Structure 1
Amino acid sequence: MRLDKPIGTWLLYLPCTWSIALAADPGCLPDWYMLSLFGTGAILMRGAGCTINDMWDRDFDKKHSNGGGPWDKKDDALIGLKSTALLFRENTKQWLSGFAVAMVGALSLAGANSGQTTPYYAAVAAVGAHLAHQIYTVDIHRAEDCWHKFTSNRTVGLLLFLGIVLGNLCKEQTEETKEAEAAGVGREQTG
């Protein structure tokens, strides 16, 4: 299950937390039950995926040269894997820059569509700065540096989740939400 290397679980789980937090009512925290449910699911799904991957790739894994460390482009070429590292070659930073711009743009659009507030956009700006720093400083020829940058994406996910939660807490409740809450309080008092 690779519980000793939880980055895969984090990267599977964090986008789920974003959706759960975005779905919360204005001024409210995300649903803790849903966060727990999806967290459990991320652990189980990643564990299952790692197990199946290990079963299918056992012949490839025998050819791995970094002694259990991060794979690199030589490993991909050795086993005939058609990875993006080999496809992008020396243009990797340009491709990553394009993906980062697309991500920040999509996050901005999602924020606009969900009526997000200043903390959300501050988090999106921090995510953009983090991604720019990653891309600028990564040494695409050092597998260890690439792995370090990859694992730091947990920070990106946590920053965005925090921004969504804080942004949602700063949202004004709509009239419908206020009326629904008032009706619920009224029912509790009469019941």
Structure 2
Amino acid sequence: MLARLDKPIGTWLFAWPCMWSITIAAMPGELPDLKMLALFGCLAIPMRGAGCTVNDLLDRDIDKKVERTKIRPLASGVLTPSQGLCFLGYQLLLVLGFVLQLNNFSRVLWLSWLPLVFSYPLMKRFTFWPQAYLGFTFNWGALLGWAAIKNSLEPTVILPLYIAGICWTLVYDTIYAHQDKQDDLKLGVKSTALWFGDSTKHWISAFGTALIGGLALSGYNAELAWPYYYFLAAAAAQLSWQISTVNLSNRADCNMKFVSNKWFGALVFSGIVFGRLASLSIHQA
């Protein structure tokens, strides 16, 4: 429960930007590096778990007062902070085992990621935009996946992909934050759900538009073929359904729409795979 293994949606949301990036980095007409996909898939589990553990260690006094989080192991007293720290160390050792299999450029990039991971839980105390900070953190894999394949970064492809991921996080995590808005108001905890208020759907519609635009630009610059844009249109329809139908006053519906983002990630990934496979014909032409 401390690593949220019982709630795998966070691992999917963490892993998809990595998978997108690795697949875009494949050569025209070829499948992505399956070993690297498996490596990042395995890495996502303890890395996301470590982030959750840090979050629960820092927020245990807040979590006690929030209906949705009061049963978490550290907030409820099932585990002590010392046990939480030991478990965090164990997860980081697992992460290190995976990271050591990457190239040196990727290792340095991963090290530069850690300050974001460890500082994110504090953001809700200082800014109404912790969801944006989470976007910078959760989508770092978009940089890391490309670097693991290419041993470099290509800004024209990776920067719009990374920005798109940040916009995606602003959409899904704002919806998620609406579950806790009443408790957050009482505790003085900040979020985009509180900042946007009744204008939330307008804001997340704008971020959703930027998300699809960023993904389209990244695919265009990477010379992905036409199948990518069909899948991207399907992903845009799924996102539009989320935003237009979510009941922001209903916790269960907010959670359901939030969880559905694993399918958005899967649609984009499928589009990149088929777009990369079909892109060989463009290069041959």
TM-score, length-scaled by structure 1: 0.87
1:78 to partner: Cα distance: 2.1
Q: 1:76 and 1:32 mapped to 2: Cα distance?
A: 42
What does residue 202 of structure 2 align with? Answer: 94
Q: 1:59 aligns with which of 58, 61, 65?
A: 61
Q: Is the 8 A contact 2:15 2:41 kept in 1?
A: yes
Q: Within 5 A, what are the aligned runs for 1:100-139?
A: 100-139=208-247
What does residue 193 of structure 2 align with? Answer: 85
What does residue 2 of structure 1 align with? Answer: 4
Give structure 1 stretches of 5+ with no counterpart: 176-191
Q: Give the 3-state SS of the residue equivalent to 2:267 in structure 1.
A: helix
1:36 to partner: Cα distance: 1.3
Q: 1:62 and 1:118 mapped to 2: Cα distance?
A: 50
1:117 to partner: Cα distance: 1.2
Q: Which has the higher contact order (CA 8 A, sep 6+)?
A: 1
Q: 2:54 and 2:222 mapped to 1: Cα distance?
A: 38
Q: Count how many residue pairs are aligned between Structure 1 and Structure 2.
A: 175
- Identity among equivalent positions (%) equals 52
1:158 to partner: Cα distance: 0.5
Q: 2:9 and 2:71 mapped to 1: Cα distance?
A: 16
Q: Within 5 A, what are the aligned runs for 1:42-57?
A: 42-57=44-59
Give 2:43's aligned amino acid: G
Rg comparison, structure with higher value: 1
What does residue 18 of structure 2 align with? Answer: 16
Give 2:273's aligned amino acid: V
Q: Is the 8 A contact 2:66 2:180 kept in 1?
A: no
Q: 1:171 and 1:5 mapped to 2: Cα distance?
A: 36
Which 4+ stretches in 1 moved above 3 angstroms? 66-71
What does residue 182 of structure 2 align with? Answer: 74
Whether 2:149 is the aligned partner of 1:41: answer no
Give structure 2 stretches of 5+ with no counterpart: 73-175
